[in-house]
Structures are given as structure tokens and as C-alpha cells.
Amino acid sequence: MSARFPTGFSGNAVHAGIKQTAGKEDVAIVLSDRSAVGVGVYTQNLVCAAPVTFDRALTPSESIRAVVINSGIANACTSDRGDEDCAKMADLVAQACGLDSNQTLVLSTGVIGVHLPMDNIASGIRACAAKLGSDDDSLERTARGMMTTDTVPKLCGRDIQIDGVDLNITGLAKGAAMIGPNMATMLSVVMTDANVAARDAHLALKDAVSETFNCISVDGHTSTNDTVLLLANGAAGGPMIEGRGLAAFRATLFEVCEDLAQSIPADGEGATHLVTVEVHGCRTRAEAVKIGKTIADSPLVKTAIAGADPNWGRVVSAAGYAGVPFNPQAVSLHINGMLVYERGAPIDFDAEAISKSMASEKETSLLLILDEGSAAARFWTTDLTAEYVRLNADYTT
């Protein structure tokens, strides 16, 4: 998978005391040894956290050097003090790493409505800056520094050669709940040593996010801090990527984002299944996404999957109330590759066999086929279990 720090990047994370569990990393830094193109895609929630406002104002940029991340507290709904604390985080990184404060982007995740303990943050940033590394352990610790209720660090990388230059794209992500487009309580930092223009990097990231991070859902809740950043420092050398090379870069960036996006619902709070919803035969991709999201967010569909119940009626019904017109008599549905509903009518199928396949496998697939056009979309979600309810009943804000 080639997950590693691309040339010129380093990072690490430390425990600064934001999280209550001793030893749990909660302050992380990603650093480029030279100025990098920095672009971002952000939450569409009107109630957005201080770091989102801060980063939006700085990106796109051609001079980003660092990203500082804290986990445990989201710095959202914290008024003017939250904005001041966010800017202070960037200043602290600038001081510790010899940068300008406008070269640092900020990410925060965790409990909403609580002020950051800035003394802890300051000591954590200084400690982290003193031990930055480019080895695999440093990369994993950096990913752990982003985690809240995640059970595993989320990493993905790809090596690619463009115009004779060896390049790497590696991404880190966090997310397990409050997941529902457009984006969710998820953060991602994608790094590359490719030489990419800011405009091309921004368009590539925006398109990749549209079909990956914006096509996942655990509970349909769009949160306040959602951010995907792409840093491209050009340290691998070579000319500016254009033409066919840019197309190859975009395809590889998409693969990295897709893997990271899938890893979020796969680690969904209390989840026992990763569910892939595919919708084919729509007039437009937007309509396919709308139907897929409606199915993915249906509590009845999600609980049926948790119970290994091949309840085709819940899936077809959810498609019907998505607000997209289609001919109900032309709809077919497959569950785990087995046809259960064909052209508007149920068929005889082996319910026990499908139920066993759902119970025994982590992944469940729903394939809905319409007859309105050639557009399609994929959406990823989870089942809904009693454990999800327990975890979120005990989580503050």
C-alpha cells in the first residue's frame, strides 16, 4: 500500500493531556521541509469549528509548511476564544518549527463546546516538534494523534511514476461516527511530493472528495470540523505535472481517498458490517447519489443488515422516498450478489443462504438497478447496532 511520508515530509504525535487516557496521542504535527501547495475541502455545516474558518482563509496556498492537529476537543462552538486559540496553535507551531504563522493549517476533533487547554496544547506542540520523524512509526503515531473513538489508525499510500519521476501520495484520516455527507466528523491530511499547481491540486481534491468522502455515512450527521487537506511540496523533483501525468495523479489521489473513505464506515462506532450501496441506471450521478444516500441512512435498512435479514422491501421502499422519480416496475435489487427483486416484483430466492452470507461476512453489498439512464454511484455505510446507541448515549456533545 506504500503508506509512508513522501519526500520532504515528517511528523509525529504526543500525549499532551487533552485525552484523559494516559499515553493516548492527542497533539500531532505534519511538517514539510519546504513550502507546499495547500488546498482543502471543508464541512458544509453552517455551524463550523474555528479551525475550519481558519484553514478556509489560508487555502488555496503555495506556501503551507505544516498542519497541527489536536484530538479530544473539537474547538467548535467556542466563540471568539476558539478563534484566538486556533490562531495561537498556528503561532506555537511557527515558533517551534521556524515558520511563519500563516504557513500552518489547524485541525481539531473531539467534544464540541469545550475550550482548549492551551497550556497542554503549547507543551504538546513543543514536545512534538522536537521529535518529528519520517519513519513508519512516526507516521503511525501521527495518525493516532487524530483519533477519537476510532479503533484503528487510518493510513493509505500509493507509489506512482509520472514522466519518469517516482512519486508518493499518502493520506491519514480519522472518523468513526457523526459521519454523514457532506463529510462528517472526519479529518484527513493527504501528502504528496508531486509538483502540482495549486489550481490543479484543488480541483483534483474536490473531485476526489465528491466521490469518496462525500459518499460515506454512518449516521447521516454532518459535523462541524470536517476537513480534507492536500499538501503537495514538489520534493520529488521534475516539471509541473500536466496533461496525461495530471490525469494519472488525479486517479491515484482518488484511489487513496477512496481507501481512506471506506476505512471510516468500516470502523464505524458499534458497526458489525461495512455496507456498499450501488445504484445503477439513473439519469444523473446526482440522482444516483441521492438514492444511495437515502438507502444508506435508513435506520430500517441498517438494522435489517445488523440482523442479517435480507429485507428487500426496506431497500426498495427507501429508494422510493428519495425524491428521485423513476419507474418502480423497472427496479431490480441484488443483495450480496444474489437477485431478490426483479423488475418491480419479488422473486423466489434462498433467504437462508443470503442471511448466512450477511452474518458471516463483514461486508454487505446492495445493488439497486433502475432503468432511467446510464449514471451510477456508490455509497458506503454501516449497519446500526445497540452498541452504536450505547456509545453515543455516553458521549458528551
Per-residue pLDDT reduced to its tens digit, 26-37: 999 999 999 999
CATH number at residue 370: 3.10.20.340
| pLDDT recorded at residue 1 | 57
- Give the CATH number of the domain where residue 27 resides: 3.60.70.12
- pLDDT at residue 180, as a whole number: 46
Res 222: pLDDT: 54
Average pLDDT of the residues in 357-364: 94
On whether both 114 and 191 belong to a single domain, the answer is yes
Residues 107-142 have pLDDT tens digits of 999 888 899 999 999 999 999 999 999 999 999 999
**Would you say residue 2 lies in a domain?**
no
- Last residue of one domain, picked from the residues 198, 233, 266: 266
Predicted confidence (pLDDT) at residue 84 exceeds the cutoff of 50: yes
- Catalytic positions are 185
Q: With cut-offs at 50, 70 and 90, classify the pLDDT of residue 262.
A: confident
Smallest Cα–Cα separation from 107: which of 179, 189, 162, 180?
A: 189
Same domain? 316 vs 223 = no
| Residue from 344, 278, 335 nearest 317 by CA | 344
Among the candidates 266, 284, 311, a domain finishes at: 266
Per-residue model confidence (pLDDT) at position 223? 56
Residue 176 has what pLDDT? 65
Q: Are residues 260 and 325 in the same domain?
A: no
Q: Are residues 245 and 327 in the same domain?
A: no
Kindly indicate the confidence band of residue 385, based on its pLDDT and cuts at 50, 70 and 90: confident
Q: Which pLDDT score, from 0 to 100, does residue 265 have?
A: 81
Segment 169-212, tens digit of pLDDT:
999 999 865 544 443 457 999 999 999 999 999 999 999 998 88
250 found inside a domain: yes
Element holding 340 (H helix, E strand): strand 338-342
Is 152 in the same domain as 192?
Answer: yes
Same domain, 185 and 207: yes
Asked if 222 and 182 touch (Cβ cutoff 8 Å), the reply is yes
* Mean pLDDT computed over every residue of the chain: 91
Domain ranges, residue 282: 274-393
Q: What pLDDT score was predicted for residue 165?
A: 97
Same domain, 365 and 305: yes
pLDDT given for residue 112 in this prediction: 87
Q: Given this model, what pLDDT does residue 181 score?
A: 43
Q: For position 384, what pLDDT does the model report?
A: 86
Strands 345-346 and 338-342, by their bridges, are antiparallel
Q: Over pLDDT 90: what percentage of the chain?
A: 77
Q: How confident is the model at residue 392 (pLDDT cuts 50, 70, 90)?
A: low
Apex CA 210: angle with CA 207 and CA 213, to 5°? Answer: 120
Is 241 found in the same domain as 288?
no
Q: Is residue 250 domain-shared with residue 295, that is, in the same domain?
A: no
Domain count, the chain: 2
- Has residue 3 been placed in a domain? no
Q: What is the DSSP letter of 241?
A: P
Sign of CA dihedral 288, 307, 387, 152: negative
Confidence (pLDDT) at 22: 84
Per-residue pLDDT of 295-323, as tens digits, reads 999 999 999 999 999 999 999 999 999 99
Q: Is residue 262 domain-resident? A: yes
Q: Is residue 331 included in any domain, yes or no?
A: yes
Neighbour count for residue 84 (Cβ, 10 Å): 14
- Does a structural domain hold residue 323? yes
- Tell me, yes or no, whether 79 lies in a domain: yes
Asked if residue 171 lies in contact with residue 210, where contact means CB atoms within 8 angstroms, the answer is no
Pairwise pLDDT comparison (163 vs 389), residue with the higher score: 163
Give the least confident one: 10-14, 221-225, 266-270: 221-225
**Whether residue 116 is found in the same domain as residue 231:** yes
What's the pLDDT score for residue 184? 40
Residues 102 and 66 in one domain: yes
**Do 223 and 309 belong to one domain?**
no
The domain boundary, picked from 221, 238, 266, lies at 266
* The three three-digit cell numbers of residue 273, written as one number: 458490517
Q: Is residue 4 part of a domain?
A: no
